[in-house]
Amino acid sequence: MHITFIATRKNSDPAERELYEMDFLLRILGLKRCFVDLGLQTIAACTPPGVEMTLVDEYSEEIDYTAPTDLVALSAKTSCVTRVYEVARRFREQGTTVVLGGIHATLRPDEALEHVDCVVTGEAEQVWPQVVADAQAGKLKARYDTGDYPPLDQIPLPKWPTGRAKRYLFHQIQTTRGCPFTCRFCSVPDISGQAFRFKPVDRVIAELRALPKTAASPLLAKRPLYVVDDNFISRTKYTRELLEAMVPLAQAGELPPWSAETTLNVAQDDALLDLFRDAGCATLIVGIESISQATLEAMAKGINFCMTYQDAIARIHDRGMSVVGNFIVGFDTDTRAVFKDTLDFIQETGILYPFFSILTPMPGTALFDEFKEAGRLDHTDWARYDTRHVVFEPRLMRRDELMDGYIWLYEQAYGTGLMLDRLDRHWRRKSSDGGAHTGSPWTERAFVKARLLPEMARGDAELRQLYRQSFKVLSQHKGDAGNLLTMLDSYDFVRFMRRYRSEKWEDNLQTFTEAPAQPGPTDDNLTAPQWHNEKAKRRSARL
């Protein structure tokens, strides 16, 4: 029995650029991809012994549709499923059996069955050996549903054929699954459940020790680690124990710089924040989502009133960690002022890496059902459910205003002096925090500059100016070249996104830049920002 696991491209069009895929940064570092989806790696590890396996990563190699294999295994999120269906069709035309698992198949199994031979729903660690046994016996069923969530202490270490580690930017690890909250735009409660599950601390430590030590490039002597948990602090007692166990590893230099996604309440707890710092956390990824009180309330994101945003971010910065702030625009409570107001907030707080998404009603969420019922969904072309297209009718602005506002916000945050201003402030903070400054050695800075110079020579005046100023700030601070590259990656994304500007771009632009900060077209309470919320202010004052 031979199974071919295929990590497909995210898109049918190879020229497309994906949010979060860091194409530019990878190109500069000479790497192929950020990482391969952990879901496929985990299922590969659950395959019974004696079964031959091949992994094809479409970002590194062409798919050979004629290579002999008994089963092709695919995985997809909603935005990637269109490409996966194409790949499935090509294999099935050759008579090869195709099985699909992952998030979209879990949310839309009947649709998926129109494209593949077998659909596996849910977290498939426990059911996968049965799927393989049935396939071997020629008795593969069309559908396998994983009823229960597997206990995380029983799942195997993710498996990957050796020798490939050099192609990827990040290490990945998962320590917990599930999130106790139910934000209306988020698929996590449907996919991973609200009950919290965790890997035993000693098991996580063993996984950390087992991470491949190979450097990815001269700049990445230590490949950064990305903790993929939905909410790393779902249960703080566990998080605390885990961080305490990580501290000695970090102090011994055995941990790469790492980042994890958490809810904002991480900042309420001084001792916990200190532990994050001591355990080597470089970046906290925080779901800020919106600066508007009304939006947070409408989306059931009450956890964000745990303190004022400004205080929360300052407390993280005080520990020398940077913040990835995830923002969503296009909520029913968002007016055209949301773009400028969000930008002002980002500059005020100095969030280093703001990432923006257009509200996207993902199948399975309360938001999807509500929009569908109201006839507000434009289509179900899943490839455009990637959070950088408008797929529904917004309430307080037009579709083109939402799209242009999104691009404008990205452009402002990364395409101008504002980006360098945040970087400058970040490096100043780092050098004033008691000698813990972790800038790159000159060799790394020289490597990055050497890689960027040809890009600069090919670029236009705007790009050349930004690069020139970037080099200046980098040398001034002897800063971390990784910070700069990550920001330039977002700048590259901005340039890519310009092709999506609407025909009304020029007119719309005026309204973003000239609109009074608080136009209040319908409702006074739409204009109240998070930091005016009484609960948030009271809690901040208590800290």
Instruction: Note the residues at the interface with ligand SF4 (CB under 6 A).
Output: 179, 181-183, 186, 188-189, 230-231, 263, 287
Could you give the 3-state DSSP secondary structure of residue 492? helix
- Partner interacting with residue 231 (select from ligand SF4, ligand B12, none; CB below 5-8 Å by kind): ligand SF4
Which residues ranging from 507 to 526 are in contact with ligand B12 (CB under 6 A)? none
Residue 18 binding ligand B12, by CB under 6 A: yes
Cβ proximity to ligand B12: between 3 and 337 the closer is 3
Residue among 348, 341, 363 at smallest CA distance from 314: 348
- Partner interacting with residue 362 (select from ligand B12, ligand SF4, none; CB below 5-8 Å by kind): ligand B12
Nearest approach in angstroms of CB 185 to ligand SF4 is 7
- Partner interacting with residue 386 (select from ligand B12, ligand SF4, none; CB below 5-8 Å by kind): ligand B12
Distance (Å, whole) CA 227 – CA 281 = 10
DSSP, residue by residue, 415-481:
SSHHHHHHHHHHHHHHHTSTT---PPPHHHHHHHHHHHHHHHHHS-HHHHHHHHHHHHHHHHHT--H
Give the strand pairing for 71-75 and 171-173: unpaired
Nearest residue to ligand B12, by Cβ distance, number only:
101
- Partner interacting with residue 263 (select from ligand B12, ligand SF4, none; CB below 5-8 Å by kind): ligand SF4
Residue among 134, 4, 153 at smallest CA distance from 69: 4
Cβ proximity to ligand B12: between 28 and 73 the closer is 73
Nearest approach in angstroms of CB 295 to ligand B12 is 16
- Residue window 166-205: x/- pattern of binding to ligand B12, with contact defined by CB under 6 A: --------x-----------xxx--xx-------------
Stretch that binds ligand B12, among 12-20, 53-61, 288-296, 301-309 (CB under 6 A): 12-20
Residue 519 Cα distances to 203, 336, 510, angstroms: 53, 8, 14
360 contacts: CB under 8 Å, gap ≥ 6 = 185, 385, 386, 387, 389, 391
- Where in 290-349 does DSSP place strands (E)? 322-329
Cβ proximity to ligand B12: between 43 and 323 the closer is 43
Burial of 213 (0-12, 13-18, 19+ CB in 10 A): exposed
Cβ proximity to ligand SF4: between 230 and 401 the closer is 230
- Partner interacting with residue 29 (select from ligand B12, ligand SF4, none; CB below 5-8 Å by kind): none
Burial of 60 (0-12, 13-18, 19+ CB in 10 A): middle
Binding site residues, ligand B12, CB under 6 A: 10, 18-20, 37-40, 42-43, 73, 75, 77-80, 99, 101-104, 107, 120, 123-125, 128, 174, 186-188, 191-192, 228, 230, 357, 362, 386-387
